[in-house]
Amino acid sequence: MDAADAVRPSRAASSSASAASVVSNDLAANQNRQPPPAPPAASSSSSSSSSSRFPPSPYVMDPREYVKIKRIATGDPRDSRVLPRAVVFRRNVAHRRMASSRGASRIVLLAGALEYQRGESPAAPRLSSMDALLDQEHEHLRAAVARVCDLAPDVLCVERTVARFAQELLLERGVSVVLRVKTSALRRLARSTGASIAAAVDELTENAVGVCGEFRVESHAETRELGEEGEGEDAGGGGGGVKTLMTFDKCPAVGLGCSVLLKGASARELGVVKTALRDAIVWAHHAEREGAWLAAFATAAADDDDDDATSEWPPPPPQSRAVAIRRVLFSHWSPYDRVRVVNADP
């Protein structure tokens, strides 16, 4: 066992305990009344999500961008869980007859809209037959849908809208269509499923198709207190609502994103837990990176002791401490490694 291996067990134990402490302190600081008990996933997810090897640029460096936290104001807090390789966002399929649950699925991501754009030119006649316009539109949409279906997708996620006629064609082909997907959700899907976001149908290729192990849509009946606001379109006072979550689970990419589902209590209390959890994720991520630094220095120190024990003359040049640190840090990437390596040598 080398010096770096000796540092890791104590670092992991202290990181997990401290993450739970950060969550408890944030809960107490953000509520005037007795704070609700944190769901079991709150402290454990901060450690598990921060331990993922977040990728270098061009991806975002903030670890919170790789952890999506969704609140579900129903059920028991013990039902909260972490989905380590899943993308979750609020959406439903475009048509109730489209499949809302699948096993292994092929994913296609399309920016913009899938519809017919009527162009105008000075030379074009001002009046045209309505039947001719409809035939031209249907012909264009048939070609676009055929181009999409050539890739044999199971799920098509579109940033804006899809024409009604195109939706019917896709329904006949057994494709589940998801409309008005946020750009941020498309980027998370692309990162986790390996898909590429196509700006137009003509840019779709086999390399642009992503995959996931399971696709499902689930609806949760929430209960809210009087005057309490929900998220997005569920905003309102009192009563309850239905929150529909779409999940792309078992994605092939490891360490490029995860999702946390917080259940129980009310939406307001879960919001406090969500804020505390985001703070704990940042803390745990930085704690692990600093632990990597300690392991790097321990490795460099052990190498220096071995060099001093040799009796060769002239002695071999000492290994640069920055080289050892660089080797460890590039295998444990963090946003601040490139800055710290500059001043690694004393």
> pTM of the predicted model, to two decimals?
0.70
Match 């074009």 to its residue by tokens: 124
pLDDT at residue 209 tops 60: yes
139: which residues sit within 8 A by CB, 6+ positions away?
none
H/E element holding 330? helix 321-331
Task: Please provide the average confidence, as pLDDT, over all residues in the chain.
Answer: 75
Distance CA 56, CA 187 (A): 16
**Cβ atoms of 79 and 264 closer than 8 Å:** yes
Q: Which of 65, 67, 157 is nearest to 109 (CA)?
A: 157
At residue 63 the predicted structure's pLDDT band, cuts being 50, 70 and 90, is: confident
Q: Which of 80, 1, 3 is nearest to 299 (CA)?
A: 3
What's residue 299's pLDDT? Answer: 76
Question: Are the C-beta atoms of 171 and 98 separated by less than 8 Å?
Answer: yes
Q: Which two tokens stand for residue 27?
A: 């809960």
Name the residue with tokens 């098509």.
156
pLDDT tens digit sequence for 257-302: 899 999 987 888 888 889 888 888 888 888 888 887 787 777 776 7
8 A C-beta contact, residue 330 and residue 341 = no
- Exposed/middle/buried for 309, CB within 10 Å: 0-12, 13-18, 19+? exposed
Asked whether the predicted pLDDT for residue 166 surpasses 80, the reply is: yes
Position with higher pLDDT, 307 vs 333: 307
In the predicted structure, residue 32 carries a pLDDT above the cut 50 = no
Q: Are 192 and 139 in contact (CB under 8 A)?
A: no
**End-to-end CA separation in angstroms for the chain:** 27
| Triad 263, 269, 21: Cα angle to 5° | 90
On the question of pLDDT at 155 being above 70, the answer is yes
Of 142 and 2, the one with more pLDDT: 142
* Of 2 and 179, the one with more pLDDT: 179
What local confidence, expressed as pLDDT, does residue 23 receive?
59
| pLDDT tier for residue 118 given thresholds of 50, 70 and 90 | low
